[in-house]
Amino acid sequence: MSSYDAIVIGAGHNGLAAAVHLAAKGWKVAVVEQAAEAGGAVKTREVTLPGFRHDLFAMNLSLFAGSPFFAAYKDKLFANGLGIVGASDCFSSAFPDGTWLGVSTDLDATAQRIAAVSPADAERWRQMVADFAGDAPHIFALLGAPMPSWATAKIVYKAYRAKGAAWLGDLARLVLSSPREFLDGRFENAKLKAMMATWGMHLDFAPDVAGGALFPYLESMANQSFGMALGRGGADTIIKAMVATLRSLGGEVHLGRAVDRIETSGGRATGVRLAGGEAMSARRAVIANAHPKLVFGRLLAADAARADFDRKVAAFRAGPGTMMIHLALSGLPDWTAGEALKRFAYVHLAPDFETMASAFAQASACLLPREPVLVVGQPTAIDPSRAPDGKHVLWVQVRVLPGTIAGDAAGSIAATHWDDAKEPYAARMLELIERYAPGLSGKILGKAVFSPLDLERENPNLIGGDSLSGSHHLDQNFMFRPVFGWSRYKTPVTSLYICGAPTWPGAGVGAGSGFMLAKMLAGDPS
C-alpha cells in the first residue's frame, strides 16, 4: 500500500494549489484524478478542428493572476511554463441599436465612452475608480481570508482603523445589495448599468437578487484598474505549470485513477481505495477537491453520527446550468456596433435588466430562456497562438439555463432532454449573435456544443451543468458555504477536508480555498 502525508482527490486548480503548498512544506503528497487530464473546469482542447485550441470552461484567469497563491509561487510557475497574456481592452456590451460600451485599462478612453451617454456618470465612474484604489486592499484581503476566522476579524479591524465605521457600513450594504439597487443608486444611464450588471449573471445573480452587487462592482473596477489576464495558448497553462511545479517538489499526480471510496477508521479518514482495488493511505489528511454531494453521497459510507450534516449537504442548491459553444472561425465577428469590439476579450450580449431578469426567471422555472445572456469570448484577439495564422476561436458561454428542461419559453423547441435540445438551442444562440454581428455563420469552420448535461459528463462536479458548483446566493455564501459551521474546509470526519468552488470563497480560478486550506494544515501564521 502506498503511503502519503496527504492525498488530494481531484486535480482541479484548488486541489493542485493545496498539493503544491503542502509539498513545498515538506509533505509527501499525491493527487488522484479520475479524468485522463488534470484541470477540472480549467481545460483547453482542440474540440473543433486541429490547431484551434478552445478553453472548454474557464477562460478569464484574472483571479488566478491576482491571487495570493500566484504571488507565493509565481517564480516556480513561470519556471515551469506558465504563460500569461494581458488584455487591456477587457469587456464590453453591444446593444441592439448598434451602440456599445466597454472598459479598457485606459481610464480616459473608458470615461469618454461613458461621457457620450452620460457626462455625470463618467465623473461618477472616475470617482469610483479613484476610491477603489484605496478600498481594494481591504476588500480583497477579506475575500482571501478563511470565513470566519481571527484573520477575518483582524482585517475588519484594520479596515475600521483605516477607513472608519461608515466605510464598513457601506461595504456591508454593497455585499447585501442586488445589482439593480447598487447601480440605480450610483448611475443614471441604462446602458452603463446593464454593462456592469452583466457580471452578476456570471455568478447567476439576476438584477434583483440580493447579494449580487459585489461581483459587478469588483469586476468592473478590477478590469479598469488592472486589465484582464488570459493564458498564453489556453487557460490550461496554469494547470500544466501547477502539475509541473508539484512534481518538481516531489509530489505525485495520478491521472485516470478514479477513487471508489474514502477509507475511514474510528471516525477518521485514513486514505482512499481506487477503482480496481488499489489502496493509498494518508497519515495526515485526505483533501477532496470535489463537490460535497459527491463526497458524502458516493465516496463515504453512511454514518448516523453525521446525519444532520449529510442532510444539509444533500440540500446544497445548485445554480442554473450553462451551455458552452466553441467555434473555429475564419475571422472575428463583424460587430455592427463597430470594429473596435474586435479588440475586446469579452463582448456581452445582455441589453438590459429586463432581459437578464427574464432569462433567470425562465431558467429557474426549468424553461429554455427565450433570450439568455451570452458571454462572447474572443481570446484570439488577445492571444493569436490559439488558432492557425489569420484564424480565430470564439468562446460562447450561455447564461443561464435549466439543468433539466420542462419546456421552451419561446415555444419552438419541443425536446425536453438536453441531448435532443442542445443543437436547436445552440442554433438559436448563433442567430442571436448574428443580430449583433451579421455574417457570422459564413465564418464558421467548426463547432462544438456542450450542453449542461455535457458539462456534468465532462466534470461530475458541475451538477446539472452548474459551472459554479453551487448557487452563490446569500444563504450559500460566506460562512454558509457549503454548510454553516463547516465553512473552514473541515468536515465531521476527522482528517477529511473539502476545497473547491462549493467552499469559500466560491467559484473562479483564484485557487483560494485550496491555498487557504493548505496553509491551515501546514500551520502557517494567519
pLDDT in tens, 181-191: 999 999 999 99
Question: Any alpha helices (H) in 448-494, and if so which ranges?
Answer: 452-458
- Is the distance from CB of 488 to CB of 147 less than 8 angstroms? yes
Distance CA 198, CA 464 (A): 22
**What's the pLDDT tens digit per position in 234-245?**
999 999 999 999
Q: Which of 133, 311, 291, 115 is nearest to 221 (CA)?
A: 133
- Is the distance from CB of 251 to CB of 19 less than 8 angstroms? yes
Mean of the per-residue pLDDT values of the chain? 97
Residue 1 has pLDDT above 80, yes or no: no
Report how far apart, in Å, the C-alpha atoms of 88 and of each of 123, 161, 416 are: 21, 34, 42
pLDDT score at 526: 67
Distance CA 349, CA 486 (A): 38
Bond prior to 148 in cis (omega within 30° of 0)? yes
- Is the distance from CB of 107 to CB of 126 less than 8 angstroms? yes
Q: State CA 355 to chain mean position distance.
A: 22
Residue 148 has pLDDT above 90, yes or no: yes
Q: Express as a percent the part of the chain with pLDDT over 70.
A: 100
The CA angle 204-209-213, to the nearest 5 degrees, is 80
**What residues contact residue 56 under an 8 Å CB cut-off, 6+ apart?**
41, 43, 44, 45, 47, 324, 326, 450, 458
Report how far apart, in Å, the C-alpha atoms of 286 and of each of 43, 158, 318, 455 are: 24, 35, 25, 26
Residue 83 half-sphere exposure, CB side, CA atoms within 13 Å?
12
Q: What mean pLDDT do residues 352-365 have?
A: 98
**What residues contact residue 342 under an 8 Å CB cut-off, 6+ apart?**
332, 333, 335, 378, 381
- Is the distance from CB of 244 to CB of 238 less than 8 angstroms? no
- Residue 494, helix vs strand vs coil: strand
- Is the distance from CB of 70 to CB of 217 less than 8 angstroms? no
Residue 447 has pLDDT above 70, yes or no: yes
Sorting pLDDT into bands at 50, 70 and 90, what band is 525?
confident
Report how far apart, in Å, the C-alpha atoms of 506 and of each of 56, 110, 126, 155, 346 are: 19, 30, 29, 19, 22
Q: Express as a percent the part of the chain with pLDDT over 90.
A: 99
Query: Sign of the CA dihedral 467, 470, 475, 478?
Result: negative
**What's the pLDDT tens digit per position in 470-496?**
999 999 999 999 999 999 999 999 999
The CATH code belonging to domain 2-42+62-73+234-316+470-522 is 3.50.50.60
Length of the chain as a residue count: 526
Report how far apart, in Å, the C-alpha atoms of 60 and of each of 42, 109, 203 are: 10, 22, 14
Q: Which of 466, 19, 14 is nearest to 282 (CA)?
A: 19
Name the one residue in this structure whose C-alpha cell is 483560494. Answer: 512
The structural domains of the chain, with segments of one domain joined by +, span 2-42+62-73+234-316+470-522
Report how far apart, in Å, the C-alpha atoms of 318 and of each of 165, 364, 461, 471, 514 are: 35, 11, 10, 5, 21
pLDDT score at 471: 97
**What's the pLDDT tens digit per position in 375-394?**
999 999 999 999 999 999 99
**What's the pLDDT tens digit per position in 65-111?**
999 999 999 999 999 999 999 999 999 999 999 999 999 999 999 99
- Is the distance from CB of 17 to CB of 514 less than 8 angstroms? yes
